[in-house]
Amino acid sequence: MPQAHADLIVVGASAGGVEALRDLVAGLPPDLPAAVAVVLHLPAGGTSALPQIIRRAGPLPAVSARSGMPLTRGRVHVAPPDHHLLVVEDRFVLSHGPAENGHRPAIDVLFRSAAIAGGPRVVGVILSGVLDDGVAGLVAIRTRGGTAVVQDPDDALYAGMPENALRHVETTHVRPAAELGPLLAGLVRDPVGVTAAPPVPARLAQENRIARDLRGVLEVDAHMIGEASEYSCPDCNGVLNEVEPDSLRFRCQIGHAWSAEALAQAQGDAFEKALWTALRTLEEKASLSHRMVETARGWGDQRRIDRYLGLAEESTRAATVLRDFLLSSLSRSRDESSDVESTGL
């Protein structure tokens, strides 16, 4: 059987990921015989300072990835804000395809494309973060014969992503971030059987096409994506189809993809937003009712005064109850550290 070596390392991180990435790259050798690609969840606007941070933290050069850029060994390629990063054959491609789990760039997109392009030559790494972006992509890497590596949850600032990866993916390499660099340096020197890669599943290829090119969405009908569910997409309000019933993954006709955890989080955010809107409406109604009371007093109309006072008191009571609930919910959310860190990187 022909032998080769793993020559592509793909890394996904979210909240707490900058610290983990610093530790990881600090342990990589300057002659690493593999290209490295990184997705860190970033806000859509602005630019990213992550390449500079990685260059300062370790011996490898780091650049913001561009479409058409070749996979260069001994270099770290970072996904820019608001663009998916994909691997197509021996080059990187940037895409403005549908968000996945509410993110663009998304970890699943990079991992899935790397699995298709590289098979056993790919090593996927999950670092600190909340929820479970990257889990489906890591499953794809393992399905194609690649290697899965996960930061030790006890070492991660946010253990959600590592814990979900370990729960759903067969993983033999679990290390603190500071030990990942030497581990990866050894893994990329171990031989792999390039002819041993299982074929690319049709659904994996379809999802990759959707992420790469918006036109790919038009080429996939509802039954190819999955069976319609009872849920709606938080991004576009379209019907979500159940892509993988066993692991609860969903995708809408526009192409937005959601894991169950990310969907529940987005639904919770939408619910909270609706409640804040309701609170504002109640407070405005109370304020307007008080002004109407003053107007009715000028007319000497006691019936209207009583009616408007009742409306103001009812709205104020409801607003107080709703405000107390929202503030209590926000306090619990902060205490549980369930909110994703926003980063200006």
Instruction: Quote the CA–CA distance of 42 and 342 in Å, as a whole number.
Output: 7
Distant-in-sequence, close-in-space partners of 54: CB < 8 Å, separation ≥ 6: 21, 22, 25, 38, 60, 62, 76, 78
Catalytic choice (7, 23, 41, 84): 41
Distant-in-sequence, close-in-space partners of 93: CB < 8 Å, separation ≥ 6: 67, 68, 85, 86, 87, 113, 212
The mean pLDDT values, 10 residues at a time, for the chain of 345 residues are 82 96 97 97 83 96 96 97 95 94 95 96 96 94 95 97 93 94 95 77 89 62 71 90 81 88 87 85 93 92 93 92 81 50 48
0.85 surpassed by pTM = no
Q: Residue 330's pLDDT is what?
A: 67
The answer to whether 22 touches 127, Cβ cutoff 8 Å, is no
The answer to whether 341 touches 334, Cβ cutoff 8 Å, is no
- Per the annotation, the verdict on 339 as an active-site residue is no
The answer to whether 183 touches 175, Cβ cutoff 8 Å, is yes
Instruction: Quote the CA–CA distance of 209 and 93 in Å, as a whole number.
Output: 12
Q: Of 131, 28, 99, give the one whose Cα is nearest residue 340.
A: 131
Instruction: Quote the CA–CA distance of 188 and 91 in Å, as a whole number.
Output: 19
Q: Residue 331's pLDDT is what?
A: 63
- Per the annotation, the verdict on 328 as an active-site residue is no
Catalytic choice (14, 95, 289, 315): 14
Burial (0-12, 13-18, 19+ Cβ within 10 Å), 230 = exposed
- Per the annotation, the verdict on 14 as an active-site residue is yes
105 prior amide bond cis, ω within 30: yes
Q: Would you list the DSSP string of 196-213? A: GPPPPPHHHHHHHHHHH-
Q: Residue 213's pLDDT is what?
A: 73
Give the number of other Cβ atoms within 10 Å of residue 277's Cβ.
Answer: 10
Q: Residue 341's pLDDT is what?
A: 42
Q: Residue 244's pLDDT is what?
A: 74
Burial (0-12, 13-18, 19+ Cβ within 10 Å), 260 = middle
Instruction: Quote the CA–CA distance of 171 and 153 in Å, as a whole number.
Output: 13
Phi/psi at 221 (nearest 5 deg)? -85, 175
Instruction: Quote the CA–CA distance of 55 and 62 in Å, as a whole number.
Output: 6
Catalytic choice (103, 133, 155, 289): 133
Pick the CATH number of 3-196 from 3.40.640.10, 3.40.50.10600, 3.40.50.180, 1.10.3720.10: 3.40.50.180
Q: Residue 336's pLDDT is what?
A: 47
